[in-house]
C-alpha cells in the first residue's frame, strides 16, 4: 500500500480501531452505551472496571453483544489493505485502556493512570509517580504503626489470657477443696447418723431377744411343772381302785392348771418400719438441721476487685488491697458492685441481707446488661432499681432519687422480687415492716445487685428457712 492510499485510509482506520488495544477490531462487541471494543479487550477491562472504558457508563456482563457489521467492515479493511490484525499484549506497566505507560497516579481512585486517562479523571487530583509513592508509603507507614500497636495490645491480651488460665486453675482448686470439705463434713454427719441408727437397732434387738428369752425360761418352767403333774397323776392312776377313788378329789385338785398358755406378747418383734421405712427421707430430714439454704449466693466473676468473698459466697467485705482477678466483661470495675449468681425471668423470689451498722450500701435488682466497666449513676435509666444508705439518708433509686423516711435503722434488709406482678419491694427484715415498693415492666433476666461500700464490716446474706412438705 503506497503512501497516498495509506493517507486515504487513515480516517477509516481510526473508525475501525479499538479504543483499548489501538488495533483494528477483532470480533468486536457493542455495549448499551453504543461504544464498541474487541471482545478480548472488553473482557480484560471488565475484570478491573464494570463500566464502559470510554464513557464510564455501567453495564452488566451479559449486555455486550456481537457487532457483526463492524466485524465485517474490519475484516474487509484488513483484506483490502493486506494487513494482519494487531493486538498489543497486556503489560502490567501500561494502561489497560490506552496501552500507554502509567506515568500519573489518581489520588481519588487510588490507581496509576496514563496521560490519555487524564480526561476521565479531570476532577481528580493527579500526582507524579514519585510523589504518589511517597504519599502512599506514608499512609502505609501509619497502617504499620497501627498494626504494631495492635500487636502490642494482642500480646498484652495474651498475657491476660494466660493469667486467666492460672486464675481458672485457682478457681477449680478452691472449688475442689470446698466440695471435698463439704462432702467430708456430710459424710461424717452420715456416719454419725448411721452409728446412731445402728445403735438404736442393736438396742431394740437386745430388748426383744431378752424379752423372748424370759418368755422361753418361763415356758420351760411351766413345762417342768406340768411334767411333775403328769407324773403325779400317772402315779395315782396306778393305785388300786378304792385308794384311787378315795384320793380322787385331792389328785384332781393337784392336777388343776390355772396359768395362761404360752403365747407371743403384742409388739414382741422389731419395728422394721421405724428403722428402715422411708430411710433415705428420714435421714435427709434429720440432716437438714446440719445444712444451710441460701436463696441467693454471690457470683464472684462479677465482683469488684476491691471486694473479698468468703468460701460459701454468702459474705462480702472490703479487701485491704486490690484483688488479682481477670478483667472479664462480667466484672464490675471500677464501681464496687457484685451480682447474685442466678437471674430471674418469672416467679416470686425473696432474700435477706444483713447490713448491720454499715454507713453506706446499695441493694436491689438490675438488668443483666447493666454497665460494668465505668462509673454510673444508680437509677432505673441505667437498669437498676435499688434502696441505698449514704450519710445517714435512705434513698430510693428509680428514675429519680427519692429520700425515704425510716423510723428505725434496719440491720437486715429483705428484698422481695415478684416478676409476675412486675414489682420489687424492700422491707425491714428484722421488724417485718414494709419500706417501699417499686413497680416496673421488667424485661429479660433480673439479677440481685449488692453494693456493700468499702467498709471493714462485712455484708452478709442471711440463710433461708428450710421446710419439708409431704403429700
Q: State the pLDDT at residue 286.
A: 86
Q: Are 232 and 344 within one domain? A: no
Confidence of residue 7 (pLDDT cuts 50, 70, 90): very low
Which of the 8 DSSP states describes residue 334? Answer: S
116 Cβ partners below 8 Å, 6+ apart? 95, 97, 98, 100
Assigned domain for 156 exists: no
Q: Are 347 and 440 within one domain? A: yes
pLDDT at residue 434 greater than cutoff 90: yes
Q: State the pLDDT at residue 6.
A: 44
430 Cβ partners below 8 Å, 6+ apart? 410, 411, 412
Assigned domain for 220 exists: yes
Q: Are 251 and 375 within one domain? A: no
Nearest CA to 386 out of 350, 357, 361 is that of 361
232 Cβ partners below 8 Å, 6+ apart? 251, 254, 255
Assigned domain for 149 exists: no
Average pLDDT over residues 196-222: 93
Assigned domain for 467 exists: no
Bridge partners of 366, per DSSP, are: 384, 447
Q: Are 345 and 216 within one domain? A: no
Provide the CATH number for the domain around residue 21. Answer: 3.30.40.10
Residue % of the chain over a pLDDT of 70: 95
Q: Are 75 and 219 within one domain? A: no
pLDDT digits (tens, 9 = 90+) for 22-58: 788 899 999 898 889 898 888 888 877 788 888 888 8
Question: Strand locations in 216-347, DSSP E?
Answer: 307-309, 315-318, 338-339
pLDDT digits (tens, 9 = 90+) for 81-132: 665 444 444 445 788 777 788 889 999 989 998 888 888 888 888 888 889 9
Average pLDDT over residues 254-263: 84
Q: Are 285 and 305 within one domain? A: no
Among the three residues 90, 119, 151, which one is the final residue of a domain in this structure?
90
Contact 24, 78 (CB under 8 A): yes
Nearest CA to 12 out of 74, 71, 66 is that of 74
Among the three residues 28, 59, 90, which one is the final residue of a domain in this structure?
90
Average pLDDT over residues 151-158: 94
Assigned domain for 324 exists: yes
Beta-sheet pairing, 65-66 with 126-128:
unpaired
As for how many domains the chain has, the answer is 4
Q: Are 63 and 195 within one domain? A: no
Q: Are 42 and 83 within one domain? A: yes
Residue % of the chain over a pLDDT of 90: 54
Q: Are 304 and 421 within one domain? A: yes
Assigned domain for 221 exists: yes
Q: Are 105 and 25 within one domain? A: no
Provide the CATH number for the domain around residue 322. Answer: 2.60.120.920
Average pLDDT over residues 262-274: 88
Q: Are 10 and 54 within one domain? A: yes
- In whole angstroms, give the CA distance from residue 147 to residue 132: 22
Q: Are 112 and 209 within one domain? A: no
Assigned domain for 138 exists: no
* Residue numbers of the domain that contains 119: 91-129
pLDDT digits (tens, 9 = 90+) for 361-376: 999 999 999 999 999 9
Assigned domain for 144 exists: no
Q: State the pLDDT at residue 201.
A: 94
Q: State the pLDDT at residue 4.
A: 45
Neighbours of 239 (CB within 10 A): 13
Amino acid at each position: 500500500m503506497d503512501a497516498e492510499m495509506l493517507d486515504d485510509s487513515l480516517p477509516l482506520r481510526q473508525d475501525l480501531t479499538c479504543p483499548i488495544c489501538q488495533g483494528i477490531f477483532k470480533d468486536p462487541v457493542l455495549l448499551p452505551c453504543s461504544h464498541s471494543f474487541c471482545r478480548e479487550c472488553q473482557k480484560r477491562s471488565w475484570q478491573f472496571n464494570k463500566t464502559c472504558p470510554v464513557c464510564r457508563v455501567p453495564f452488566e456482563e451479559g449486555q455486550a453483544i456481537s457487532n457483526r457489521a463492524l466485524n465485517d467492515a474490519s475484516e474487509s479493511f484488513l483484506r483490502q489493505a493486506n494487513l494482519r490484525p494487531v493486538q498489543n499484549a497486556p503489560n502490567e506497566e501500561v494502561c489497560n485502556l490506552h496501552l500507554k505507560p502509567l506515568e500519573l497516579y489518581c489520588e481519588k481512585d487510588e490507581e496509576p493512570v496514563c496521560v490519555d486517562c487524564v480526561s476521565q479523571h479531570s476532577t481528580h487530583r493527579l500526582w507524579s509517580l514519585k510523589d504518589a509513592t511517597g504519599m502512599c508509603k506514608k499512609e502505609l507507614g501509619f497502617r504499620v504503626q497501627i498494626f504494631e500497636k495492635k500487636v502490642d495490645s494482642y500480646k498484652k491480651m495474651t498475657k491476660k489470657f494466660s493469667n486467666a488460665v492460672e486464675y481458672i486453675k485457682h478457681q477449680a482448686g478452691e472449688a475442689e477443696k470446698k466440695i471435698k470439705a463439704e462432702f467430708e463434713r456430710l459424710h461424717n454427719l452420715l456416719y454419725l447418723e448411721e452409728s446412731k441408727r445402728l445403735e438404736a437397732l442393736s438396742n431394740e434387738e437386745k430388748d426383744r431377744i431378752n424379752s423372748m428369752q424370759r418368755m422361753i425360761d418361763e415356758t420351760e418352767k411351766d413345762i417342768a411343772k406340768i411334767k411333775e403333774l403328769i407324773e403325779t397323776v400317772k402315779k395315782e392312776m396306778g393305785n388300786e381302785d378304792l385308794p384311787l377313788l378315795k384320793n380322787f378329789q385331792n389328785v384332781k385338785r393337784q392336777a388343776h392348771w390355772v396359768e395362761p398358755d404360752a403365747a407371743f406378747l403384742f409388739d414382741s418383734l422389731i419395728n422394721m418400719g421405724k428403722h428402715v421405712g422411708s430411710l433415705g427421707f428420714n435421714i435427709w430430714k434429720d440432716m437438714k438441721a446440719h445444712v444451710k439454704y441460701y436463696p441467693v449466693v454471690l457470683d464472684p466473676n462479677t465482683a469488684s476487685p476491691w471486694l473479698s468473698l468468703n468460701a460459701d459466697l454468702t459474705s462480702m467485705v472490703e479487701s485491704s488491697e486490690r484483688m488479682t482477678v481477670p478483667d472479664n466483661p462480667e466484672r464490675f470495675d471500677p464501681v464496687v458492685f457484685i451480682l447474685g449468681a442466678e437471674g430471674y425471668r418469672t416467679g416470686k423470689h425473696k432474700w435477706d441481707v444483713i447490713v448491720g451498722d454499715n454507713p453506706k450500701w446499695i441493694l436491689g435488682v438490675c438488668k443483666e446488661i447493666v454497665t460494668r466497666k465505668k462509673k454510673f449513676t444508680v437509677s432505673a435509666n441505667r437498669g437498676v432499681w435499688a434502696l441505698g444508705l449514704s450519710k445517714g439518708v435512705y434513698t430510693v433509686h428509680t428514675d429519680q432519687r427519692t429520700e425515704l423516711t425510716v423510723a428505725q435503722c434496719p440491720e437486715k434488709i429483705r428484698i422481695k422480687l415478684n416478676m409476675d406482678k412486675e414489682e420489687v419491694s424492700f422491707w425491714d427484715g428484722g421488724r417485718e415492716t414494709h419500706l417501699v415498693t417499686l413497680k416496673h415492666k421488667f424485661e429479660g433476666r433480673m439479677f440481685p445487685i449488692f453494693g456493700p461500700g468499702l467498709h471493714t464490716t462485712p455484708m452478709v446474706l442471711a440463710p433461708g428457712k428450710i421446710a419439708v412438705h409431704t403429700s
